[in-house]
């Protein structure tokens, strides 16, 4: 029996190039893993080589809107691991509540905060002094000033006042304690800080540096960043060393909404919004159906009230302004011969002057020329509206019984003394007035003197009556021609005319 040899297969050996191709993925995978492992180190090295500084502006009064902007800038700096956040400041002061929130934001910040009073001519007044003292680094540009940190006590009405002696001392002592604590925290001049609160002292940049109110003077931002480099500051969690030399500067401005709301916080803008908003509502209520003044006025009043809510307002002034427009509206329906309008103007001017107290912080005044300009506009509008109402009342009636008196007609039949007359396209039963002729022939012109239910009292028409009636007829014809409305693309033809 023959045996069959077992079958077997042979695999040809791989070529050298095929082996190289098969081995390529292994080094590629190892290289990718190595790059992933080194990426944090490379990123850290890049950040170390190029630090970043966030720059924002505290420009204008200190309001809740400004506080939210400062908080957003600090949060952005923390999120992006910035070396520091610099606030270029120029402020006349503002609300103590907003100032306290800004100070709290600075004290809790995880990145160093630098307050730089700039540019030349800028100031850090009132609330600006407290914010400067709270900063980890305080700097000023040449030609700037700082001081006048005395608190303004706001009474129950919202008006700036000194209040009673005991309450004034409480407010002042509380403010002194706050700024002295900030001075001790940052190692600055606590004695001058107390004088700034109690005596409202003010110093220049050079004097502030000599008195240890600030840390340095810098003519511009690049110089400031170079000067504070390697400075050690005390943070809430410990010490930190600034690395700002050659740093990339990233500016963070207010967004559109923040800028708009900050603009509304201006007392003059708030005053204009409230005044013209009430005027729009007044026009809408006096002329229902106009719509646009009412919508615009309502929005303006709401925005004005929002703005006033961020300001030290005397609400008695707001009520006086509102009373003024109530008096304007009443004068349209009450025959006061202008007395209510005059009273409204007086109320409006008084409310305008009382709206922001005279003792309010600098920058919170309503511009006096604006007050008188708005008052003049209201006076002109009231005169125009009053003249329009007077013209409407003096205009002869065009409908009803009163409209028929003085109308010229024609006797269709002899009046003896009663008969039929043709007036305004209608036949009426008529009777001659006593004291006149006892009879009129048919076709005689007559004038209506009285309407008694469905009977007219008439008298013979004079030449003057006929002339007046002819002029009135001509005016009506002109008015009819002006009021022709095209129908189906063609105009209605006048009598005796032709269509084109």
Catalytic residues: 126, 170
- Non-local (6+) Cβ contacts of 361 within 8 A are 61, 92, 93, 94, 125, 126, 127, 152, 160, 312
Q: Cα torsion for 323, 326, 328, 333, to the nearest 10°?
A: -150
Phi-psi region at 126: left, alpha or beta (left = phi > 0; alpha = psi -120 to 50): left
CA 350 – CA 327 distance, rounded (Å)? 14
Residues 294 and 324 sit within 8 Å (Cβ to Cβ) = no
* CA dihedral sign, ordered 291, 295, 297, 298: positive
Asked if 160 contacts 153 with a C-beta cutoff of 8 angstroms, the reply is yes
Please give the distance of CA 92 from its chain centroid, rounded to a whole number. Answer: 20
Q: Name every residue whose Cβ is closer than 8 Å to that of residue 320 and which is 6 or more positions away in sequence.
A: 347, 348, 350, 351, 354
Q: Please, is 118 exposed, middle or buried when counting C-beta atoms within 10 Å of its C-beta (0-12, 13-18, 19+)?
A: buried
Say how many CA atoms lie within 13 Å of 72 toward its Cβ: 15
SS3 437: coil
Indicate if the alpha-carbon torsion angle 366, 179, 309, 69 is positive or negative.
positive
For the stretch 367-372, contacts whose Cβ atoms lie closer than 8 Å and that sit 24 or more positions apart, written own/partner, are: 367/268, 370/268, 370/271, 370/272, 371/271
What is the DSSP track for 272-338? HHHHHHHHHHHHHHHSTT--HHHHHHHHHHHHHHHHHHTS-B-HHHHHHHHHHHHHHHHTTTS--TT
CA atoms within 13 A of residue 216's CA, in its CB half-sphere: 15
């Amino acid at each position: 029996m023959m045996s069959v040899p077992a079958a077997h297969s042979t695999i040809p050996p791989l070529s050298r190039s095929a082996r190289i191709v098969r081995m390529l993925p292994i080094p590629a995978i190892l290289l990718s893993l190595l790059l992933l492992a080194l990426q944090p180190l490379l990123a850290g090295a890049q950040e170390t080589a190029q630090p970043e500084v966030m720059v924002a502006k505290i420009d204008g009064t200190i309001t809740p809107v400004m506080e939210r902007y400062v908080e957003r800038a600090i949060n952005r700096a923390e999120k992006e691991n910035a070396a520091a956040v610099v606030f270029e400041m120029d402020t006349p002061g503002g609300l103590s509540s907003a100032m306290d929130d800004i100070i709290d934001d600075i004290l809790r910040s995880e990145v160093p905060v630098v307050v730089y009073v700039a540019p030349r001519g800028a100031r850090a007044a009132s609330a600006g002094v407290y914010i400067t003292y709270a900063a980890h680094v305080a700097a000023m540009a040449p030609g700037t000033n700082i001081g006048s940190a005395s608190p303004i006590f706001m009474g129950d009405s919202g008006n700036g006042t000194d209040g009673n002696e005991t309450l004034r001392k409480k407010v002042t002592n509380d403010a002194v304690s706050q700024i002295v604590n900030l001075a001790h925290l940052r190692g600055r001049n606590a004695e001058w800080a107390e004088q700034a609160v109690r005596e409202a002292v003010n110093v220049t940049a050079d004097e502030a540096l000599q008195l240890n109110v600030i840390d340095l003077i810098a003519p511009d931002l690049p110089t400031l960043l170079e000067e504070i480099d390697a400075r050690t500051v005390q943070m809430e969690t410990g010490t930190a060393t600034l690395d700002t030399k050659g740093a990339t500067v990233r500016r963070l401005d207010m967004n559109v909404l923040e800028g708009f709301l900050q603009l509304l916080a201006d007392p003059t803008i708030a005053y204009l919004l409230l005044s013209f908003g009430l005027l729009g509502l007044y026009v809408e209520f006096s002329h229902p159906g106009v719509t646009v003044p009412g919508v615009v006025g309502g929005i303006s009043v709401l925005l004005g009230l929002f703005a006033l809510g961020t300001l030290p307002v005397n609400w008695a002034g707001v009520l006086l302004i509102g009373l003024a427009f109530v008096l304007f509206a009443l004068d349209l329906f009450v025959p006061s011969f202008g007395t209510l309008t005059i009273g409204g103007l007086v109320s409006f001017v008084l409310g305008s002057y009382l709206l922001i107290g005279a003792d309010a912080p600098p920058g919170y005044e309503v511009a006096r020329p604006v007050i008188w300009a708005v008052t003049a506009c209201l006076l002109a509008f009231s005169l125009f509206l009053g003249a329009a109402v007077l013209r409407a009342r003096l205009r002869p009636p065009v409908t009803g019984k009163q409209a028929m008196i003085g109308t010229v007609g024609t006797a269709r039949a002899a009046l003896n003394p009663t008969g039929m007359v043709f007036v305004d396209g209608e036949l009426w039963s008529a009777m001659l007035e006593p004291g006149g002729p006892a009879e009129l022939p048919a076709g005689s012109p007559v004038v209506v003197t009285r309407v008694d239910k469905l009977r007219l009292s008439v008298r013979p028409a004079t030449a003057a009556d006929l002339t007046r009636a002819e002029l009135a007829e001509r005016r009506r014809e002109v008015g009819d021609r002006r009021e022709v409305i095209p129908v189906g693309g063609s105009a209605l033809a006048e009598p005796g005319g032709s269509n084109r």
